[in-house]
């Protein structure tokens, strides 16, 4: 049976301020994966449900666009 890998996407164009959960981190629902910064506001990207971060697709300081894949996640 194939694993169900979820792609996490940015909801806004912003700067990657901090990667809070590197690959391999087990998270509960709503735990923070990445924190974005836009207009001096911090915008967290959170786990959609409990699971594990598979891969982080961005680096701190990188500009991301709305809809850009930033991480993959395994429920």
Query: Hey, is 69 helix, strand or coil?
Result: strand
Q: How confident is the model at residue 1 (pLDDT cuts 50, 70, 90)?
A: very low
What is the side-by-side order of every strand in the sheet holding 69-74?
Answer: 6-9, 69-74, 51-56, 26-27
pTM: 0.93
What is the side-by-side order of every strand in the sheet holding 32-38?
Answer: 41-46, 32-38, 14-19, 63-64
pLDDT at 67 over 50: yes
Length of the chain measured in residues: 75
Query: pLDDT digits over 9-54, tens only?
Result: 999 999 999 999 999 999 999 999 999 999 999 999 999 999 999 9
Domain range list for the chain: 6-74
The class (CATH top level) of 6-74 is: mainly beta
- Distance separating alpha carbons of residues 55 and 22, to the nearest angstrom: 7
């Amino acid at each position: 049976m194939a694993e169900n890998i979820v792609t996490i996407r940015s909801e806004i164009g912003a700067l990657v301020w901090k990667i809070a959960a590197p690959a391999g981190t087990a998270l509960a629902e709503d735990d923070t994966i990445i924190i974005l910064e836009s207009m001096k506001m911090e915008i967290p990207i959170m786990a959609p449900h409990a699971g594990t971060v598979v891969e982080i697709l961005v680096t701190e300081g990188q500009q991301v666009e709305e809809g850009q894949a930033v991480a993959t996640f395994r429920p």
